[in-house]
Structure 1
């Protein structure tokens, strides 16, 4: 069973990867010392204010042990940074989740991998393109990464699963045991059977705006590149493209009239023709 103290720190509000790294450095890697520290000692760590220190002091890891056993029985793996199964592409990121919760038949460390993202309300042409492109890439051996959302995400997962050996990973903004949107529960099971469901939040958590935005850095982080099929400038897929650039990943965009796609192409994203006749993906 994973270390309950580590998992508790991973899930503590306002901690996250960057702050936990700072805490580990300050306390010589001793998670028990972090948990036992006084507010004043915690507050001396860069990025840890009194509010975050108070959150840490409220942690009761022993209360998490029963949940960890139950999650394990339900097929949820809790992967920490030092777990060999933790995805190497994520581990290199400064803000890598301290614990990654995974449910499925495969490890999420699956290169080559490409993310396919876009609007929840796609045009019929864009939805068809997402499905066709995912199937084409899955047939070439790529793992397809997306976010299990309505629209383009759904089409991407379905396209990947249409290939006999296609693999796909769904990165959730909710917990892996509380699939969102709920109408994608059957799709989530299919994804887990041929790939993995992944989250960094409590496995039973409901989604919120912050977690839905933050999961985009994991979508890009698990991928060699991000393909935006269709999005408006204010769409959530723009976060995935932004994170991809920050992480040094390739950014591609379908060459269409959507305002987000035009902005990405103007900013240097590699174009993909709408007919998918030419794919500059190597």
Structure 2
């Protein structure tokens, strides 16, 4: 019987192995995938690398190198099972540098994730074919008046072929997704954890408690869930990465109620400096005022405001 090191291995399995190896972060994974691509190294050839090659050619640290070579068979077995699960549940892997990697991430993320996992309606990654993607930026603890304004804005944009981009575990994101669902629009969920961790063993679990009230099960024919994290990684310190990806996936951003010197303000400011389409509501917390003082575009208040935004996309 063949050992794991003798069995055929595909690149996606190798990516799963490396991304789940403790001590291999985004930068190390990106550098390793670039080396494999530029030097046309096959997965089988990669497995034949020595510890010295890992350390000196790939610049992988001592701890992950030692762990890999001590537990190679077990790690290969685990990655083969992950690859089986990935194929069974139609989870796609997009690696940076490939033609299929979402161009918006390379355009708007200063350090785009080396790997993106996706399950569901992949056409949402091609906004020109299905409508325009939008995200509304709201800091934590919004007032009831802001939540009503959020409903109004999302309703107007979604009714004009807008595709909601949101996370799933903050109240403003959840309200945004609920409005999109109410209007029958697809939702692009950006997760702060692995796909299986969020969606369950069958990758179809309801994503948040209030969604049950609205009968919002995850529909892979309509919606799309994406994550920059290995499929079993729980939510820990991934919130800023999630929020960055939300803004990058959106074709247009609405800063509705952002608090100064917090993540949403930083993302809105970064988007403004990158000339990423951004509109700021003349109201909300002081972050909105600061963005307008920087020269960001005020959200139009005229009845045709949605059409005016769409004309500039």
TM-score range, shorter chain: 0.7 to 0.9
Equivalent of 1:127 in 138, 147, 169: 147
What is the alpha-carbon root mean square deviation over aligned residues?
A: 3.5
Matches within 5 A, 1:1-282: 3-12=12-21, 13-16=24-27, 18-24=30-36, 27-45=39-57, 48-50=60-62, 60-81=75-96, 86-90=101-105, 95-111=111-127, 112-164=132-184, 166-179=185-198, 182-183=208-209, 186=212, 189-190=217-218, 192=220, 194-209=222-237, 211-242=238-269, 244-245=271-272, 248-272=275-299, 278-279=305-306, 280-281=308-309, 282=312
Task: Please give the secondary structure, in 2, of the residue aligned with 1:143.
Answer: strand
Task: Give me the whole-angstrom Cα distance separating, in 1, the residues matched to 2:248 and 2:64.
Answer: 26
Q: What's the CA shift for 1:134?
A: 1.6
Q: Which runs of 5+ in 1 are unaligned?
A: none
Task: Give me the whole-angstrom Cα distance separating, in 2, the residues matched to 1:244 and 1:56.
Answer: 39
Q: What's the CA shift for 1:245?
A: 4.7
Match of 2:6 in 1: none
Task: Give me the whole-angstrom Cα distance separating, in 1, the residues matched to 2:291 and 2:240.
Answer: 18
Q: What's the CA shift for 1:99?
A: 2.9
TM-score by length of 1: 0.80
TM-score by length of 2: 0.73
Task: Give me the whole-angstrom Cα distance separating, in 2, the residues matched to 1:61 and 1:246.
Answer: 44
Q: What's the CA shift for 1:171?
A: 0.2
Task: Give me the whole-angstrom Cα distance separating, in 1, the residues matched to 2:51 and 2:273.
Answer: 34
Q: Larger Cα Rg: Structure 1 or Structure 2? A: 2
Q: 1:85–1:109: 8 Å Cα contact kept in structure 2?
A: no
| Count of residue correspondences | 280
| Structure 1 residues 77-105: Cα deviation after superposition (integer angstroms, max 9, x where no partner) | 33445776543433556743333222224
Q: Which runs of 5+ in 2 are unaligned?
A: 1-9, 200-206
Structure with greater helix share of residues: 2
Q: 1:106 to 1:15 in 2, by over 3 A?
A: closer
Q: What's the CA shift for 1:173?
A: 0.5
Q: 2:258–2:288: 8 Å Cα contact kept in structure 1?
A: yes
Task: Give me the whole-angstrom Cα distance separating, in 2, the residues matched to 1:199 and 1:123.
Answer: 29
Task: Give me the whole-angstrom Cα distance separating, in 1, the residues matched to 2:99 and 2:246.
Answer: 20
Q: 1:62 to 1:184 in 2, by over 3 A?
A: farther
